Every structure is written in structure tokens, then in C-alpha cells.
Amino acid sequence: MARLHPNGPKPAQITAGRIGLYVFLVVAALFFLLPLYTMVVTSLKSMDEIRLGQIFALPATLDFSAWATAWSGACMGTVCVGIRSGFWNSVAITLPSVALSVFIGAVNGYALSLWRPRGANLLFGLLMAGGLIPYQIFLYPMVRAMANIDLYNSLAGIILVHVIFGLPLVTLLFRNYFVSVPEELCKAARVDGAGFWRIFFEIMLPIAVPMVVVVSMLQFTGIWNDFLLGLVFAGRDNLPMTVQLNNIVNTTMGERTYNVNMAATILTAIVPLAIYFLSGRWFVRGIAAGAVKG
Amino acid sequence: MSIKRKPNLSATIALLPTWFVAVVVFIGTMAWSIRLSFTNSTLFPSSTYVGLAQYSKLFSSAKWLASLQNVLIFGVLYVAGCLLLGFLLAAALDRKIRFESAFRTIFLYPYAMSFVVTGLIWQWMLNPMLGIQASVRSLGWESFVLDWVVNRDMAIYALVLAGVWQGAGLVMVIALAGMRGIEAEQWKAARIDGIPVWRIYVSIILPQLGPALAAAGMLLAMGVIKTYDIVVAMTNGGPGNATEVPAKFIMDNLFGRQNLGLATAGATVLVLGVIIAVAPFRYAMHMRDKAKGAA
């Protein structure tokens, strides 16, 4: 850094290194933005224009018909109803899954860290191990068990599956959060006669609101973006948007309508992207918490 | 110490559903799957034990061996690529840059999108007939080739490219948070000693970010073992077996080919792989915590 003189002019910082730095950042930004740009322009082109093979060219006219088709007319195999139903399926799957898994995770974290009943450490260890193991080993027996209790291929079934597979991470994050809450707070409440649930609802849950937001963000994007579990457990009538999107793009017969495909792709990405842009800091905290889970 | 004087019934009851999930769902289904891997089950579970026959069949399957090799190549390059690019981006943003938050937003947004979306975007960009290749050729560079997704030798690198595009932002966020936590004193001392900036990042900053970057690398590696969506969306395992991965092999045999024994054997191998990969890391953490507790 240039030496600073209290009374001198603002130090000029344009050095070769500085320019190189900006060049690197701009090139990197182009690399990250290019796919988004191509998706958007492709979705606004007609197929005739796409066949010219100029993927980066701007569309000649703004044509939103591909968006309309993607939403309500695109074909999955022989059914042509668009990705609309997938959108509502994803909403119906994601909202209850997030609410339930966050609530149960918060109770778990609170019980495990502040009450520590018998076997708490064992339970926590088992959960963490379960969280590390690839889903594939659980799938077939779970499908059979869910079929036995009539939950396979149902909305309730896929929600239950998301709650189950979300438990390890959500419990971990809440446990780590509640561990840092002073125990005296809990002790004082007990002396005043409050029980397990009253302390949870009146003291601990209000304290944990920031964590609730962070974990909800993490779970929402995770569940919205899920593909595997939705594919296996949701059933034909409840397929989430990601699965329908893949069906539209990768199983179409005849010529591929790339403009419709790209519009459908953007529609699928738009909810998590909106969350990212609107919640910014919270989203970043969520993924950072999820990543550095120790 | 624990606050309980007498065992609290409410806390125990509140944890019962989680006990059920941990024991019945996680351990129970895993045991069931592992058991199936020793039987000759095909479409339906069978109780005829065949010892390690499914495993020897698995490891004589060209597709499985290809999938192991692919996931290894993909995993190493994807994790290394995300760590390297993420660290470079963080270091660049750490240099008091204008529009820092705009750059940060741009680098991280792909991470908000699913692997299915990521796979489809890059499938489109790399489409040789209509994508980047066609565009560059129409500019006059007739021999330009970027046909990764349809080229047997390059398809796996197309997956790496898409994966790094999606995941580098995560590493950037973690690294940048770490860099902001490093005291200004260290910078001053290093600058007074005349150490060039890049050396400070490599020799002073990087070692301090070690644990955070290791955690990020670990997380990415766990994702590698589960890699499924991005492959299905981008190449569906092709061309040939060029991008076949174990998670997809298992799913295909589980639900498509009705080959339960083989699929569960594959899943068991994956679980063993995770244990072998994670155990030393966990053990090191455990020992470190123990050492801390003793001090």
C-alpha cells in the first residue's frame, strides 16, 4: 500500500497489480454470469433464431411465448401441461417440510444441549452418522416401509422423508446454538416452576429466532432444489419442479424446444434465486453455518 | 454440567421421534440394505444368501468400475477446483475492491440453484451444434472445438466445469469470512517486513484458514459421493459410460433394472467409502477436542 501523507493528495493506487486484480475479477464475473445470460436470451428467442447457432446474440424481438409454454404447455413425455403443477407441488412439499423439520430440530437441539436426558450423546452420535451416509443405502427399505404404511407416492410421504433426512443437520445447528445459551437462564426458569415445554416456547424459541431464520433458509433451498428424494418418494402426482424440469428437457420426443427448456429452467431456479437476492446476508449465514458444521 | 436433578420425562419424550428415526430409519434400513447385498435378490427381496457373489459381480462390472474411476476424477478436480477458485476470488475481494458486494453476489448465486438446473444450463452452453462451439465457429474460427458433453474423453470435465461453477462461491464465502477475521496487526507486521502481498496470502493467511477450508472441502467431498442430479441432468451417464457415477449406478439397478442385490452391494461399498474417508478426520477432531478439554 502507498505511504500516506496526512496533508498530501489522495494516494493514487493504480498499479499494474491493481489492474490485474480487476481484470481477474471481471473475467471471473463474466464466467459466472454467462450461463445466466444465455439462459435468459435463449428463452426469449424463437426456434428459428436458435437454429442459427448464435448462443450469445441478443434476441431479435422480445418473445415471451416460450415462457408461457414452459409454464402451462410444455410436454413431459406425452403429457403437455407445463411446469406449473410442478411449481405448486414444490410449494406444497417445501413449506410443510421446512416448518416441521425446523420445529423438530429446534426441540431436539434444545433437549440435547440444555437437558441432556439419558443417551443424549448416543442419539446425537447416531444422528450425525446418519447425516453422513449416502441416501442410496436407505432408499429401498424406506420405499417398502412407506408402501406398507400407505405413505409411498404421497405428499405426506415425501414431506416425512424430507423431515427425516433434514434432522441431522437441523438438529446439529440448533444444538450448537443452544449450547452457547447460558445454562443459568434455564436453571432460573426451572426454579420459577417452568417446565420443559414452557421454557422452550417462552424463552428458548424467542432467543433462537435468528437461528430459525438461518436454518429455514438452508432447508428451504435444500428441499426446493432436491431431485433424488422427490423422484423416488413423491409419486407421479406430486413430482417436484426439479424432476418435472428434467423430464421436460431430457425426455422430449422430436425436436428439442430449447427456448421452452431454458424458460422452464429459469422458472425452476427463480424461487431459490429470489430468496438469495432478497435475503442476502441471511442466506449467506445459512450456507456458512451449514458448511462449517464441524 | 447437566441441569437435571431428576431425570426429566418431557425431554426424553420429546426426543422419542428422533430416536425412532436414528434407530429404525437410519440403522434399521441400512442393516436391511446390507443384508440384501448378501442375497440373490432381483426384483423382490430374497432370503437366499449367496455370500459375496453380488460383490464379485459388482467388481467385475465394467460400468461399476468406470463409475468409480469417474467419481474419483470428478471428485478430485471438483473439490480442488472449488477450493482454488474460491480462495482466489476471496483473496481478490479482500483487497479493498470497488463493487465488492456486487462481485460477491455474482460469484455466489449459482450455489442457490439446484444441480439439475446447473446441469441443464451447462448442457445448453456446451451443446456442440448450437452452443458456444457453434457461436465461436460462426465468428470465423472454423476449427474451434468445445464438444465436451458429447465427447467420451472430455464429458467428465464438462461435469467438473459445471460443478466448479456451482460450488466455488461457497468456498469464497467461507474463505472471505475467515480473511476478515484475521487481525490487522498481522498485516501491518508483514508489510513492515516487506513481504509481498501474494506471499502473505500463501504463507500467513492460508494456514490460518486451514480448518475452515478443510471443512468446506469435506462438505464438497461428501457431495461428490452423492453426485447424481447433475449427471442425470447433464449427460445421463453418457456418452457410453463416460460419466457414469456410483450413485447413479445404484439408482439404475435399484429402480430401473430391478437388481436389488447388486444395487445394495454398491450402496454398501459407498457407505464403506464414506467411513474410510471420514473416520480419520473425525478421529483427529475428537483427539483435538480431548486435548483441549484436558488443557
How many residues are listed for chain B in this entry?
295
Is the ipTM higher than 0.95? The answer is no
Question: Residue A79: which H helix or E strand, with range?
Answer: strand A79-80
Are B11 and A111 a contacting pair at CB < 8 A?
A: yes
A131: number of Cβ within 10 Å:
18
Please determine, for residue A233, whether its predicted confidence score (pLDDT) is greater than 80.
Answer: yes
Distance CA B28, CA A43 (A): 47
CA torsion angle A273 B147 B70 A227 (round to 10):
30
Q: How far is CA B109 from CA A58, A294, B70, B106, in A?
A: 22, 24, 27, 6
Distance CA A274, CA B169 (A): 17
Q: Name the one residue in this structure whose C-alpha cell is 429466532.
A: A209
> pLDDT tens, B181-235?
888 888 888 888 888 888 888 888 898 888 888 888 888 888 898 899 999 999 9
Residues in chain A within 8 Å Cβ distance of B92: 21, 24-25, 28
Return the SS3 of B49: strand
Q: Looking at the complex, does the CB of residue A269 fall below 8 Å from at least one CB of chain B?
A: yes
In degrees and rounded to multiples of 5, residue A205 shows phi and psi of -65, -45
Return the SS3 of B133: helix
Whether residue A138 contacts residue A164, with contact meaning beta carbons closer than 8 Å, is answered with: no
> pLDDT tens, A129-183?
998 899 999 999 999 999 999 999 999 999 999 999 999 999 999 999 999 888 8
> pLDDT tens, B88-102?
999 999 988 889 999
Return the SS3 of A149: coil
The type of residue at A159 is I
Nine cell digits for residue A8: 498530501
Mutate to test the interface with A, among B29, B100, B180 (most CBs of A within 10 A): B29
Residues in chain B within 8 Å Cβ distance of A141: 28-29, 32-33
Q: Looking at the complex, does the CB of residue A274 fall below 8 Å from at least one CB of chain B?
A: no
Closest CA to A76 of A212, A223, A264: A264
Please determine, for residue B36, whether its predicted confidence score (pLDDT) is greater than 70.
Answer: yes
Burial of residue A284 (number of CB atoms within 10 Å: 0-12, 13-18, 19+): buried
Whether residue B143 contacts residue A260, with contact meaning beta carbons closer than 8 Å, is answered with: no
- The distance from CA B77 to its chain's CA centroid, rounded to whole angstroms, is 11
The residues with which A76 forms a beta bridge, in sequence order, are A79
Are A225 and B26 a contacting pair at CB < 8 A?
A: no
A157: left (phi over 0), alpha (psi -120 to 50) or beta: alpha
Q: Taken in order A213, A214, A215, A218, is the CA torsion positive or negative?
A: positive
Interchain CB contacts (distance < 8 Å): A and B: 270
DSSP B43: S
pLDDT given for residue B62 in this prediction: 93
Whether residue B51 contacts residue B38, with contact meaning beta carbons closer than 8 Å, is answered with: yes
Distance CA A36, CA A43 (A): 11
**pTM, whole model, 2 decimals?**
0.91
B285, closest residue in chain A (CA to CA): A294
Residues in chain B within 8 Å Cβ distance of A126: 22-23, 26-27
Considering chain B, what is the average pLDDT of its residues? 89
Mean pLDDT, to the nearest integer, of A99-123? Answer: 93
**A285: confidence class by pLDDT, cuts 50, 70, 90:** confident
Give A44→chain B minimum CA distance, Å. 15
pLDDT given for residue A10 in this prediction: 53
Distance CA A115, CA B6 (A): 11
> pLDDT tens, B72-89?
999 999 999 999 999 999
Q: How far is CA A110 from CA A250, B3, B90, in A?
A: 45, 13, 35
- B173 vs A4 pLDDT, higher one: B173
Whether residue B41 contacts residue A141, with contact meaning beta carbons closer than 8 Å, is answered with: no
